[in-house]
Structure 1
């Protein structure tokens, strides 16, 4: 959290003051980019009481890697959700398998892609008696894909804990296809009109007893060895120390981190994953993993380069470092217009421009708020904080993933108000310019002299 203060002052007086080259490169290198294969109809709604899984079709929006020089294309995905237990008890863990039968993608180049270079990850939407988003991942395993060939079927698995009795629906969600051939590339595909149709329905029964409602959510379902993944938790014991850890099957890896749950039992942390064998991430209270006092594992796949480098080629590697959320302002004092004794009215000015820079990456948005003190004048005279109002404005720099939203016009006061914000999203970040018109309402017979208050801005 970043805060800054600026002094806002006014004065009373007796007198008035008046890309084509990228496509050729991708083709030459044989980059494993994926594009949408159009066509296909939409499935009708799934039966609400279905107990057997059914394949469903849903519209999908895919974004090929930028280096392919191919624009986003819309198509249709056919997928099916299956479970290992269609009649679980509350508190039990259900394994979910998300199978993409027909991907909305194909190989965009003439060069064939070799076997075992594709790692899929995705989400399954849980609805009905409980709501959740289940992370699923698949193995780095695929048949060779011929040039311009259709992308093969693949499956991804994950788990969730049943927390409520009743009918629970499962729908396919967004998925991503990571390729490790020549370069590490991603092709994210999102459900155009979520949620997708229900593919599987299970019926949970209540056997009583204590249910562990602790839960974690990962910022990504895959990443390179040595990379960090964000972990968000809920329903943990408030104020307790929570261990984040990688899992490789039934053992814990050396990848651990510690966070502290806030007053509501939530936390936001990051775990650096270095073990290529990692298959999941957990969070737990206490000295060692205990499913009764933890959450997870949430499926996670370590992606590494592979597939070999063809003769006459060179593999090029780089990395992008995540930054911070910060703000800078072009000054710390605002000179506002004077008003006349006996007339009063609005003393006006403009907030010194604030530039918000969000270089964190990940899904989190931000909020910029402000609060002001009373304006102190001569001989103990004051103008209350509630007399200051503002009209915010916010501009997003071109190319920023997020969109800046200006706060509402109105009083600032000592309790504070929102100056600007950016919402959470799948990908967030960027640069934003924040301004505001200021107006201090001065009573007609306020004692003459200089008045000043302090406006504090806080970025979270």
Structure 2
């Protein structure tokens, strides 16, 4: 078992600014990660091999970690969670080698601290070949949850299931022997004014066509009738059911899922989906049990999620010079920043900046003297559309350079620029003045 890695610090882009010359530097080869990486944890696991294997349950150790796309959300924000099983407690229980791309993992992440509950997660049908009696390869699963309470929220890896589709449809469920497992990640939520704190959880993150899944909800209107529905992307499927909310604002209902393209499940009050009166989608996958006809081959393609990153063109910017005794605006342009969002999830991004005071020969120019005028261009075909931040002072508190909103499916490529203007006082002593502008992508 490998040692537990240290949590990777958020990487940042730093820009060195000057009154007559503005040099952009970085604290390393810098591409901002999509989110904070969780810590690997070990926990005892009880796995039940498929009955066809003819072997008893396996008690072993799972090594896993949980990561998020935002460690500092506000109440009402949606957080994307990734559960990675580094080393599974179970492996291929048979002598038969398993080919590539026949494993579909699902699982749950346990919330604790300021907010409790479980997040259902699911992974793509993707794996390397597994030899007979060989160990299952590492795999990742993703899901989302809505923050409903301020404070520290802990995330621990929970039960998981490995479904294999080869010759037979088989499941290997693995449960945490002493739940909850150790905490792998913690997010600290701040207070907000959310209009909707409803949330749902599922009894399972996957099933065969026609299987029933239990949907549990909280913070709904007492006495309301809630519609449970399957979703394929942002389109509702024909699979629906209803449940009644009790006096405590909670409910539990069963939904039979038949549609093979289902990607999630929602619950809502009223006659149609309304984001202000509903919750979800909670991730759900329908196993593909369609038999392959004789003489045919089943072809499967997988779209692999990438990362959120940024790069900048060049590492030096020169602001115009100003005259002693007159002062005025030292102007220039920020080196172009390119943001690439290839995560393929529901989360948008935000690019912010803040600057220090400018220091020079026996004097300084305050950080509040630097202003910018942001511009953001979206590359054609991108699912998201970026918005430039407001023109104005950058300062030590910082300002938004550009951002994209959350959505059903986000991503794309974006080009961010900004006109810069440093207001130099009239009798600032002659010389070169510099400060540090830090850009942070989250």
The TM-score with structure 1 as length reference comes to 0.55
Q: Within 5 A, what are the aligned runs for 1:277-288?
A: 277-288=261-272
Distance of 1:141 and 1:52 partners within structure 2: 22
Distance of 1:232 and 1:167 partners within structure 2: 23
Residue segments in structure 1 that go unaligned for 5+ positions in a row: 1-39, 312-460
| Equivalent of 1:178 in 129, 150, 163 | 163
Secondary structure in structure 2 of the residue aligned to 1:130:
coil
Residue segments in structure 2 that go unaligned for 5+ positions in a row: 8-35, 296-442
Aligned residue in 2 for 1:76: 61
Q: Is the 1:236–1:261 contact (alpha carbons within 8 Å) kept by the matching residues of 2?
A: yes
Q: Within 5 A, what are the aligned runs for 1:39-78?
A: 40=1, 52-78=37-63
Cα-to-partner distance string for 1:38-63 (whole Å, 9 max, x where unaligned): xx5997999xxxx7521111111111
1:221 equivalent to 2:205? Answer yes
Q: Is the 2:92–2:134 contact (alpha carbons within 8 Å) kept by the matching residues of 1?
A: yes
How far apart are residue 306 of structure 1 and its match? 6.0
How far apart are residue 234 of structure 1 and its match? 2.4
The TM-score with structure 2 as length reference comes to 0.57
Distance of 1:306 and 1:243 partners within structure 2: 29
| Equivalent of 1:234 in 214, 218, 221 | 218
* Equivalenced residues, count: 269
How far apart are residue 286 of structure 1 and its match? 1.6
Aligned residue in 1 for 2:174: 189
Q: Is the 2:155–2:185 contact (alpha carbons within 8 Å) kept by the matching residues of 1?
A: yes
Q: Is the 2:88–2:138 contact (alpha carbons within 8 Å) kept by the matching residues of 1?
A: yes
Cα-to-partner distance string for 1:77-115 (whole Å, 9 max, x where unaligned): 111111111111111000100011111121122221122
Aligned residue in 1 for 2:245: 261
Distance of 1:253 and 1:264 partners within structure 2: 29
| Equivalent of 2:117 in 132, 136, 141 | 132
Aligned residue in 1 for 2:131: 146
Distance of 1:184 and 1:202 partners within structure 2: 37
How far apart are residue 179 of structure 1 and its match? 1.4
Distance of 1:109 and 1:307 partners within structure 2: 22
Deviating above 6 A after TM superposition, structure 1's stretches of 4 or more consecutive aligned residues are 41-46
| Equivalent of 1:115 in 100, 104, 115 | 100
Distance of 2:107 and 2:129 partners within structure 1: 22
Aligned residue in 2 for 1:100: 85
Cα-to-partner distance string for 1:307-333 (whole Å, 9 max, x where unaligned): 95899xxxxxxxxxxxxxxxxxxxxxx
Distance 1:74 1:43, change over 3 A: farther
Distance of 1:230 and 1:88 partners within structure 2: 28
1:246 equivalent to 2:220? Answer no
Distance of 1:126 and 1:201 partners within structure 2: 9
Secondary structure in structure 2 of the residue aligned to 1:255:
strand
Which has the greater radius of gyration?
Answer: 1
